[in-house]
Amino acid sequence: RLGAAGTALLHKLQKGIPPWIPLKVHEKKTYKELQEEAIESKRRDLAVLQANGGVWPGVRIPSHALFLWASGSELTPTLEADHMPNKFIPKDL
């Protein structure tokens, strides 16, 4: 912990930021800001569910379960037809 604090101090000094100013990540947020972020996160989650037909990506068949019932030639098409889209979901959705 002390090492991390020391490193953070060095980085701040290198960038010319006074040590007593908190980093953007550690700024205090108002209740309203937290509430807006939560609503935005919920909206994005609902957009993902809507795009995947009401199923969260990766939930249909857990990867460890694939190996219990499928092997070799059966497993390959299942893995190729991956149901989890590697799509970027924009924040403003």
pTM for the whole structure:
0.39
Q: Which helix (H) or strand (E) holds 40?
A: helix 31-51
pLDDT value of position 39 = 94
pLDDT value of position 58 = 65
Is the Cβ–Cβ distance between 83 and 57 less than 8 Å? yes
Greater confidence (15 vs 25) lies with: 15
**Angstrom distance (rounded) from CA 57 to CA 17:** 41
Q: Could you give the dihedral angle defined by the CA atoms of residues 17, 23, 29 and 33, in that order, rounded to the nearest 10 degrees? A: 100
**pLDDT at position 9 over 80:** yes
